[in-house]
Amino acid sequence: MIDFSEFEKKTNIVFKNKKLLEQAFIHRSYINENSGGRLSHNERLEFLGDAVLELIVTDYLYNKYPDCDEGELTAYRSALVNAVIIGEVALSLGMNDYLLLSKGEAKDIGKARSYILANTYEAYVGAVYLDQGYDTALEFIASSLFGKIDAIVKEKLWRDAKSLVQEKSQEYLNVTPSYKVINEVGPDHDKNFTVGIFFGFEKIAEGKGHSKQEAEQSAARKALEVKEWLD
């Protein structure tokens, strides 16, 4: 049994059922290497935590932004609970130090680890909900995640940059942007891509990311900045 006492101090949530807390940090790959029947992976808790997280975030955004319609609120929620944001929050909480992974997964510190951490955050929310109830889950999510939304809204990170740059380029220039991979480095499990965005033959900007899609979004956002199309 892992000693979670330091983590419990940090989160100010002391579990009644320590096995439930431990389960939140067990990845499926660990079970595959350590089958014995005593432990279960965290995917059921993740399923529950995802639903609890969505309800709490939806309620929060509904009350925080009374003048926004459902489309805007949905975009805000998607931006706040995406895997990158939640993975960063989980890392800042020290969740990475308690993960139980297979030897192979333990070596991977790239995008896949961020995704695992995001899932662990959701599993932990599920565990908190079962062990402590809704109000404690709400307090945890409020303290760890709600603070991210102001920057998301202020910097308009909730908008899909590729869709917006296409809309603006067609409106102002009558061209459709295209994207080209300029460089990719790193092993298969932790690739880094550099993608250029072009208006016709003119390269407007470059973006980097751990996937082509992520790099394209980065390039699109930089193109919006270059053209001063971010209102």
Query: In this predicted structure, what is the pLDDT of residue 47?
Result: 97
202 is known as an active-site residue: no
pLDDT digits (tens, 9 = 90+) for 108-151: 666 667 889 999 999 999 999 999 999 999 999 999 999 999 98
Mean pLDDT on 89-113: 81
Question: Which entry of 22, 46, 105, 122 is annotated as an active-site residue?
Answer: 122
pLDDT for 36: 63
Question: Which amino acid is located at 59 in the chain?
Answer: D
Domain ranges for the chain: 14-154, 161-226
Asked whether the predicted pLDDT for residue 104 surpasses 80, the reply is: no
Please tell me the predicted confidence (pLDDT) of residue 153: 85
Active site residue 50: yes
Contact 224, 204 (CB under 8 A): no
As assigned by CATH, the class of the 14-154 domain is mainly alpha
| 25 closest CA partner among 40, 47, 38, 8 | 40
pLDDT of 189: 67
Who has greater pLDDT, 194 or 154? 194
Mean model confidence pLDDT for the chain? 89
Q: What is the pLDDT of residues 14-66, one digit of tens each?
A: 999 999 999 999 998 888 777 666 778 999 999 999 999 999 999 999 999 99
Q: Which residues are CB-contacts of 91 (< 8 A; sequence separation ≥ 6)?
A: 114, 117
Per-residue pLDDT at 30: 87
Q: Give all strands of the β-sheet with 192-199 in edge-to-edge order.
A: 178-185, 192-199, 202-209
Q: Which of 50, 139, 206, 214 is catalytic?
A: 50
Class of domain 161-226 (CATH, top level): alpha beta
Q: What is the pLDDT of residue 162?
A: 87
Q: What is the pTM of this model?
A: 0.74
